[in-house]
Amino acid sequence: MPDVVMPRLSDSMEEGTILQWLKQVGDEVAVGNELVEIETDKANMAYEADVAGTLTEILVPEGETVAIGTPIARVGDSGEGSGLSTAGPVARDAPSPSQAAGEGPTPTPPAGEEAGAARAQAAETGGAADGDGHRVRASPLARRIAKEQKLDLSRLHGSGPGGRIVKADVEKADAEPAGATGLGPGAAPTPAAAAPPPAGKVPSPETAKGQVSYEEPSKLQSTIARRMAESKATAPHFYLRASVDMSRAVEGRRMVKEAAGEGDVVPSFNDMVVKACALALREHPRANGAYQDGRFELYSRVNIGVAVAAKDALVVPTVFDADRKGLRQIASESRALAQRVRDGQITPPELSGATFTVSNLGMYGIDGFSAVINPPQAAILAVGAIEERPVVRDGQIAGAHLMQVDLACDHRILYGGPAAEFLARVRALLEEPLSLAL
């Protein structure tokens, strides 16, 4: 009887959390069927079965976290018995462990009580079951948001495939008013402010800060915290800064936008940065490598990770072989990846394999910043806003569109001189944008 083990769904994954079993004990499973939803260090996703048969046993229940390689379920031949679950959801009418031990049957609660218990559980877990005890179909991201907002998923109408509740359905429900109170569904009234201390008395820290609430980070947030701390602790960062004259790029993009037809993709400035970095990385292999286990790793493919802001986290999907793709293809892929990140539909392969990262905060009006290297990569480029500023050209003051870029480097593999040459090449490519199309 083959075991289904916790899969490695990303290159940095060490453990996973079972969010929802999509098949129950006794269900037939075919290769490619969605078997279980798993929360990893990078995203929530459905894992497809790689074996066929009958789900005979669930070993890890929903909500538990186990290391990769740990058996989480068993799938047997179609003729084998079911109801062997020892830790996970038990099939209806299957004997409980106490019954198996000879303690007698457990009385079945009346239908009304059973439905009430299901609704109570739904309220506690973000709407995990409807009034009949059936599990509500919802994406992992929608389920998480509903739990945070204390929304009952069983009361929502899903607009996704097969009536599945998606992120937009939860956000829409949370934005709707709830009667005369003016509070959204699941919202709690604002707690009264702490009373000020009597005159002449020094307030305690608790009084001075008001009421304190605590929030547990998600697995993704915990992983980001751990990896960024490890990066700063183990990789000796140094930073290079350059100012790029984007005037020709601004004018070129304006012309492309004016000539574009309906539905045509117009590359963004960030797409240009990705392409420029890809071409420069091809010429400077140390910047496209990593320091691993006391030696240099140099990669033949140039894969650019593009940082995307998700809900309370940062996700970095990958544009593969960016040096071999045109600007329009990079633009199309980047937009599709960013949308899948925001919809919670990004897949493990799309989050793996990056050899360099671009992080852009220019759209937030940030002039420049120093980014933390995404280990084990050798460097990351931080991109600021494009601003029109006065410059001196041929002894005359003129206007120019300037953009600040900051390169964070791992000094164990990328030294000052080669890093400066790489950044200078990126700047030269952006200042002559026609070279990006070659």
**Which residues participate in catalysis according to the annotation?**
411
Q: For the beta carbon of residue 424, count every other beta carbon within 10 angstroms.
A: 13
Assigned token pair, 371: 């980014």
CA 6 to CA 17: how far, in whole Å? 9
Which two three-digit tokens encode residue 164?
């599945």
The first and second tokens of residue 100, run together, are: 């198996």
Quote the Cα angle for 15-20-26, to 5°. 110
DSSP symbol at 324: G
Tokens representing 263 are 């539905």
The residues that bridge with 232 in the sheet, in sequence order, are none
Q: Which two tokens stand for residue 170?
A: 């939860």
Amino acid found at 227 = R
* C-alpha gyration radius of the chain: 27
Q: Could you count the other beta carbons within 10 Å of the beta carbon of residue 56?
A: 21
Reported residue count of the chain is 438
H-type alpha helices, 217-342: 219-234, 247-259, 269-283, 327-342
Q: What is the DSSP string of 358-418?
A: EEE-GGGT-----PPP-TTBSEEEEEEEEEEEEEEETTEEEEEEEEEEEEEEETTTS-HHH
Report the alpha-carbon distance of residue 419 to residue 380 in Å, rounded. Answer: 11
- In three-state secondary structure terms, 217 is coil
Spell out the residues 6+ positions from residue 404 whose beta carbon is closer than 8 angstroms to its own.
Answer: 241, 242, 243, 244, 367, 368, 383, 384
How many whole angstroms separate alpha carbon 365 and alpha carbon 399? 19
